[in-house]
């Protein structure tokens, strides 16, 4: 994807060149949309197609510093989410962001974000409440995810309704799958 470069002085900065290279090399899956606002800011809209957050839609804003790639982008989930690896302020726990290395790219960060939706990690949480629920009561965790997507209160947090297409049928089916999986894995059948 080629993006025109702009600069107030008319000169293209090294950061702009690297961001343009990252954009040209991007392989964007079908469940992700790219929105670029300027040379230093973009968003990925991720619509998970499997897992707990299937049907949801989450915007991750990337803010690139002027010293990119020597300093990593600031990444924020703009949509409140009940997730063990994303805090309530939208900061994701993606290993490649800290410590950042100049050899990393926007593609690697995107892969890390997608991985959070398919493999949430309750052992390395930013949202302690969600992680504890995921470890100790997977069925309740699944229900909390659905309730958060539907715009309900979970714990002490009132979530806004997610912009995605979370259906009651999906929510019920996901909850039943999680209950069955938990029951089988604990030998309760």
Burial of 7 (0-12, 13-18, 19+ CB in 10 A): exposed
**Which residue in 140, 62, 138 sits closest to 104, CA to CA?**
62
3-state secondary structure at position 175: helix
Q: Please identify which of the residues 2, 77, 93, 189 carries the catalytic annotation.
A: 93
Element spanning 42, H or E: strand 41-46
94, two tokens: 């993606």
What is d(CA 87, CA 132) in angstroms, rounded to the nearest whole number? Answer: 14
Known catalytic residue at 93: yes
Active-site residues: which are they? 93
């Amino acid at each position: 994807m080629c993006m025109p470069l702009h600069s107030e002085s008319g000169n293209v900065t090294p950061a702009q060149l690297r961001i343009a290279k990252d954009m040209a090399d991007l392989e964007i899956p079908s469940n992700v949309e790219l929105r670029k606002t300027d040379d230093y800011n973009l968003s990925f809209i991720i619509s998970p197609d499997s897992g707990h957050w299937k049907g949801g839609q989450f915007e991750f804003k990337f803010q690139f510093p002027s010293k990119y790639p020597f300093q990593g982008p600031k990444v924020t989930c703009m949509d409140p989410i009940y997730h063990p690896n994303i805090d309530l302020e939208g900061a994701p726990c993606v290993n490649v962001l800290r410590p950042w290395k100049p050899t990393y790219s926007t593609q690697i960060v995107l892969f890390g974000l997608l991985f959070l939706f398919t493999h949430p990690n309750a052992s390395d949480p930013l949202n302690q409440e969600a992680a504890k629920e995921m470890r100790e009561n997977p069925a309740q965790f699944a229900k909390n995810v659905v309730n958060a997507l539907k715009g309900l209160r979970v714990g002490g947090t009132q979530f806004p309704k997610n912009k995605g297409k979370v259906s009651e049928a999906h929510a019920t089916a996901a909850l039943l799958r999680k209950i069955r999986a938990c029951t089988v894995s604990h030998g309760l059948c």
